[in-house]
């Protein structure tokens, strides 16, 4: 049996077992990774190098920071404030939180945004005695959509910007207007899937919340000031970390270390709140994806585009969009984007048309495809795991039933946008 076939079987089996959820998904991902090593598809060194420690470090650093900030009562303060602004209307909450999440994701990475916004949402839902499910699901979708708007919003855009020499303003001009439209439409789509939850009567709970004094929610004003100072400093460095030559993980871990230093909190207590299961799931998944990539499956899928489109700009652009969207709902969009870059460069050598629409198609497909399943994007997994710790279980099937339609609607609208703006 040849290596590509073995790799494909392991990969598909991993996806199936993760979706069935009969075994804990971290165990499945690590088992798949181990098989790639034992069957010598990947060497131990290749497996180790496949782990994106930038993502792992970023997740760890932000989880530590959020754990400390949570002790100050800030999330409860913001929860009461936002609840009052929504006047007890669940749809207003859904709308406000989705827009805020999308806006944050355009300047921060999606995972950081979810780690910051979900605890606030959970506090709001606790106050109003409502299910956090529709709000958090919408925030997960909004984080992937919002990250599409800028060069720094999502890793695929960073890769594309570097490969195609596209500037920060190129992304703002070409993608941000469409992303804003998607973010506005998103809450209306989500509401269709959660009619029961959105129609909950919160009158009694709202009357209680209305009487709350949000200022009393602050439990440690001194720690709050220190936390906000360190957090704002960290966010500022995040925005310019590429110019400073710093990885996102370095910034997050530096912020976490500084906050531990000034807060004088026992690190052991803080580390108990780190989602270690999520981190090891990512480690296993990175290795599995590396095995699939090494045997050329992702590259082979990408090369089909060149054969099918025969040099037509419209067909090429739409093919890249749809293949990227569908593929990135199942595999890591960073690995996929990296594998697609040489393919698009190759298309440029055998055709005479402007490749920019194709690059925008790759960005939209890779970023928006992340909404298809909860294993498709880091933010999805983090959001789902935070909900799980609160006793709110979202299965692969549950997420897929909502995520797939949202992803397909986004890709259909993206097709119309690309066609009308660049291909008409």
* pLDDT one-digit tens code per residue, 346-371: 788 777 788 999 999 999 999 999 99
Q: Is residue 409 part of a domain?
A: no
Global confidence as pTM: 0.76
Position 420 scores a pLDDT of 97
Phi, then psi, of 390 in degrees rounded to 5: -95, 5
Q: What is the pLDDT of residues 95-147, one digit of tens each?
A: 989 998 998 888 777 887 888 888 888 888 888 888 899 999 999 999 999 99
pLDDT band at 379 (very low <50, low <70, confident <90, very high): confident
Position 237 scores a pLDDT of 86
Q: Is residue 204 part of a domain?
A: yes
CA distances from 363 to 55, 244, 338, 370, 404 (A): 19, 25, 12, 11, 18
Q: Is residue 40 part of a domain?
A: no
pLDDT band at 386 (very low <50, low <70, confident <90, very high): confident
Looking at residue 22, the DSSP 8-state letter turns out to be: S
pLDDT of 22 strictly over 90? no
- What's the whole-number mean pLDDT along residues 291-316? 81
Q: Is residue 250 part of a domain?
A: yes
Distance of alpha carbon 242 from the chain centroid: 20
Provide the phi-psi class of 109: left if phi over 0, else alpha when psi is between -120 and 50, else beta. Answer: beta
Q: How many CB atoms lie within 10 A of CB 335?
A: 18
Q: Is residue 400 part of a domain?
A: no
Position 301 scores a pLDDT of 66
Domain that holds residue 134: 52-280
Q: How many domains does the chain have?
A: 1
Q: Is residue 379 part of a domain?
A: no
Nearest CA among 7, 44, 93, 63 for reference residue 249: 63
Looking at residue 216, the DSSP 8-state letter turns out to be: G
Position 314 scores a pLDDT of 93
Helical H runs in 328-375? Answer: 333-350, 356-368
pLDDT of 414 strictly over 90? yes
Cα(241)–Cα(234) distance, rounded to whole angstroms? 10
Q: Is residue 318 part of a domain?
A: no
Q: Is residue 90 part of a domain?
A: yes
360 within 8 A of 415, measured Cβ to Cβ: no
Between 254 and 166, the higher pLDDT residue: 254
196 within 8 A of 159, measured Cβ to Cβ: no
């Amino acid at each position: 049996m040849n290596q590509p076939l073995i790799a494909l079987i392991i990969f598909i089996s991993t996806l199936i077992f993760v979706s069935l959820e009969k075994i804990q998904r971290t165990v499945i991902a690590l088992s798949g990774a181990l098989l790639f090593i034992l069957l010598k598809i990947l060497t131990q060194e290749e497996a180790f190098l496949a782990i994106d420690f930038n993502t792992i470090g970023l997740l760890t650093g932000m989880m530590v920071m959020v754990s400390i900030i949570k002790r100050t009562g800030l999330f409860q303060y913001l929860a009461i404030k936002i609840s009052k602004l929504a006047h007890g209307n669940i749809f207003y909450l859904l709308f406000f939180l989705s827009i805020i999440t999308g806006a944050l994701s355009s300047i921060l990475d999606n995972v950081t945004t979810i780690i910051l916004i979900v605890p606030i949402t959970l506090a709001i839902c606790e106050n109003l005695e409502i299910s956090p499910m529709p709000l958090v699901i919408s925030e997960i979708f909004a984080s992937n959509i919002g990250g599409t708007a800028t060069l720094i919003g999502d890793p695929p855009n960073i890769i594309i910007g570097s490969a195609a020499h596209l500037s920060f303003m190129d992304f703002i001009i070409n993608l941000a207007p469409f992303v804003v439209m998607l973010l506005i439409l998103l809450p209306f789509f989500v509401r269709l899937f959660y009619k029961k939850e959105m129609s909950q009567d919160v009158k009694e709970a709202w009357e209680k919340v209305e009487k709350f004094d949000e200022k009393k929610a602050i439990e440690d004003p001194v720690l709050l000031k220190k936390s906000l100072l360190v957090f704002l400093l960290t966010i500022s460095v995040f925005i310019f970390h590429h110019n400073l030559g710093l990885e996102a993980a370095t910034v997050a871990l530096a912020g976490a270390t500084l906050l531990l230093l000034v807060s004088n909190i026992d690190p052991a207590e803080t580390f108990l709140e780190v989602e270690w299961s999520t981190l090891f799931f990512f480690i296993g998944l990175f290795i599995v994806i590396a095995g699939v990539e090494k045997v050329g499956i992702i590259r082979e899928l990408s090369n089909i585009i060149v054969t099918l489109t025969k040099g037509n700009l419209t067909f090429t652009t739409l093919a890249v969009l749809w293949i990227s969207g569908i593929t990135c709902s199942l595999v890591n969009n960073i690995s996929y984007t990296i594998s697609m870059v040489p393919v698009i460069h190759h298309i440029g050598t055998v055709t005479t048309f402007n490749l920019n629409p194709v690059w925008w198609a790759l960005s939209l497909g890779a970023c928006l495809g992340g909404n298809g399943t909860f294993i498709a994007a880091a933010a999805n997994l983090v959001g789902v795991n935070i909900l799980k710790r609160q006793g709110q279980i979202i299965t692969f099937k549950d997420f897929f039933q909502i995520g797939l339609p949202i992803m397909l609607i986004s890709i259909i609208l993206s097709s119309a946008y690309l066609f009308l703006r660049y291909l008409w």
